[in-house]
Amino acid sequence: MSKRIAGPEIERLIQLLAKVPGLGPRSARRAALHLIKKKEQLMVPLASAMGEAAEKVRVCSTCGNVDTVDPCTVCTDPRRDPATVIVVEEVADLWALERAGAMNALYHVLGGTLSPLDGIGPDQLNVKQLVQRVSEGAIKEVIIAVNATVEGQTTAHYLTDQLAGFDVKVTRLAHGVPVGGELDYLDEGTLAAALRSRTAF
Ligand SMILES: [Zn+2]
């Protein structure tokens, strides 16, 4: 049995930190030690920020985003175009698209992709709510911005079928050559997709 080097409270802190994405046991020990050293400047405010966020965080009943208010800040932002909705897999994708700042649209977070092998069907995803939103008539374009994976594309096809009966344009992201990318370095799948989704000058 290995000897303990800290009391159970610190051991528990390290164990929990090690579950954070991007941190393993080693980084968790470093982070814990750093928090302990910076107790007043970092550990105490972090603990209270976490407590407050944990208490207030909720899922938006309209779009599936996480926020401390429902409907969320994105859904209630009057500067966004209510006729355009971007469908994403996860909240992280919503944040990424917002950082890109290319669109001024509303969002819909699916909460994953269809994956029958893992038991994830339409009922496990935020699909009904999307169809409901579209059926209300204000949305004119749905941009399906899912990952370029097999599951992502299966999900995109499924959603397109579900929305086929409505007066709404369904589009998807172009797949292709990344900005600054050199053709020689691209994999065949990316290159083939870029050719298929070519645009006129
Ligand atoms: Zn929302």
Q: What is the mean pLDDT of each run of 10 residues along the chain (201 residues)?
A: 82 95 94 97 97 96 96 96 96 92 92 92 95 96 92 94 95 85 85 83 82
How far is 48 from 71, CA to CA, in rounded Å? 24
Tell me the CA–centroid distance for residue 71 and ligand 1, in Å: 5
Q: How far is the CA of 21 from the centre of ligand 1 (A)?
A: 25
CA distances to 88, 143, 146, 159, 197 from 172, in Å? 11, 5, 8, 11, 11
> What's the pLDDT at 134?
97
Looking at residue 195, what is its pLDDT? 86
pTM: 0.83
Measured in Å, residue 108 CA sits from the centre of ligand 1 at 7
The pLDDT assigned to 1 comes to 57
C-alpha 74 to ligand 1 mean position (Å): 6
Which residues make up the environment of ion ligand 1, defined by Cβ < 5 Å? 60, 62-63, 65, 71-72, 75
Residue 119 Cα, ligand 1 centroid: separation in angstroms?
A: 26
Q: Are 127 and 120 in contact (CB under 8 A)?
A: no
Which H helix or E strand runs over 64?
A: none
**Rounded distance from Cα 62 to ligand 1 centre (Å):** 5
Domains delineated in the chain: 81-172 (3.40.1360.10)
pLDDT at 187: 86
How remote is the CA of residue 54 from the centroid of ligand 1, in Å?
18
Distance 124 CA to ligand 1 centre (A): 18
| pLDDT given at position 31 | 96
Strand 169-172 with 141-144, pairing: parallel
